[in-house]
Amino acid sequence: MCQIPAGLQVNNVKFLPVVNPFIRAIGIPQQFEPQVKLNPEI
């Protein structure tokens, strides 16, 4: 196994860094924002 140096944090984010710009570009967060303001439990 690979040793992780002290003080280094490793997170498995899978595909999120690649997909996130596309999700924002097509406006998905803006479509859900009004609904979340009306119902914060979503």
- pLDDT given at position 28: 84
pLDDT at residue number 30: 82
pLDDT at residue 36, as a whole number = 72
> Residue 17 is which amino acid?
P
Question: What is the predicted pLDDT for the residue at 40?
Answer: 66
Cα–Cα distance list, 15 to 10, 29, 31, 41 (Å) = 15, 17, 22, 26
Check if the beta carbon of residue 2 is closer than 8 Å to that of residue 10. Answer: no
For Cα atoms 20, 23, 27, give the angle at the middle one, nearest 5 degrees. Answer: 140
- Tens digit of each residue's pLDDT, the chain (42 residues): 678 788 888 777 777 778 888 888 998 888 877 777 776 665
The pLDDT score that the predictor gives to residue 42 is 56
Q: What is the pTM of this model?
A: 0.40
